[in-house]
Amino acid sequence: MTPFRRGLALAAIALVAACRSGVKDDPILRLSATESLEEGKRLFELEKYAGARPYFTHAFEVEPNSSAGREALLLVADSLFLQGGDANLVQAEAKYRDFQNRFPTSERSAYVQARIAQSLARQIERPDRDQSATVKALAAYQDLLRLYPTSAEAESAQEEIAKVRDRLAEHEYLVGAFYLRYGLPQATIGRIEGLLASFPSFAETDKALFTLAQAYHRVDRADDAQATYSRLRDEFPGSPWTEKIPERAR
């Protein structure tokens, strides 16, 4: 054996020995799935989510198809979700989907779908930013209602869907208002008309109507502007946006 090959062989032996030593020295790896799960749950109850996660991970890896392993995988996801932060929420969603794919008939399926939606909802950006997480959250909540309509988790889904849809509508409004501010009233009309058609329950429909009426006026669609101001006045008589209707349109 050449000196080079002898050196490689010795390095490999040293690496194996170091790995074996690491296994031996890591106390988590000495635990059974049940023992590891219980210790993880103890830390979880203390809200030490990062500390609990290695125990849950070990319990799942030791017995991935046992009841302890299933619970451990779900608790890995829960620990990431509760710890929070964008990176953890992305991982939490992935873990919930992993659980969903592995155990599609689990009695916790509705809970898992709700957590997927919540993980996405907590990643939603401000209305003036990218809304891809908002779109995904809406789809996840709608799946919750479709798949588990009688579940306890579905009861609050309608309210969450309304919030998510309002965020999407607000994004559309801000884009439309931006176009108007920069002299593109026709683009504003397209955006706000689409908003009103797609989000009829938008919580701030009054300001959308006011902005749409202004855009109509700027492209010399006086009749449409007047009709929109009239709708604003009829549907939102006490709105501060109604008070801003110009005298010519009253």
Q: Please list the pLDDT of the chain residue by residue as tens digits (250 residues).
A: 554 344 434 344 444 444 444 445 778 999 999 999 999 999 999 999 999 999 999 999 999 999 999 999 999 999 999 999 999 999 999 999 999 999 999 999 999 999 999 999 999 999 989 999 999 999 999 999 999 999 999 988 999 999 999 999 999 999 999 999 999 999 999 999 999 999 999 999 999 999 999 999 999 999 999 999 999 999 999 999 999 999 887 7
Q: What is the pTM of this model?
A: 0.82
Task: Check residue 249 and give its pLDDT.
Answer: 72
Task: Check residue 23 and give its pLDDT.
Answer: 47
Task: Check residue 250 and give its pLDDT.
Answer: 74
**Biggest distance spanned by C-alpha atoms of the chain:** 99
Task: Check residue 21 and give its pLDDT.
Answer: 44
Match 């062989």 to its residue by tokens. 9
CB 232 within 8 A of CB 206: yes
- Please, is 244 exposed, middle or buried when counting C-beta atoms within 10 Å of its C-beta (0-12, 13-18, 19+)? middle
Nearest of 222, 211, 233 to residue 242 by alpha carbon: 233
**Residue 130 phi, psi (nearest 5):** -60, 135
Other CB atoms within a 10 A radius of the CB of residue 168 amount to 20
Task: Check residue 5 and give its pLDDT.
Answer: 45
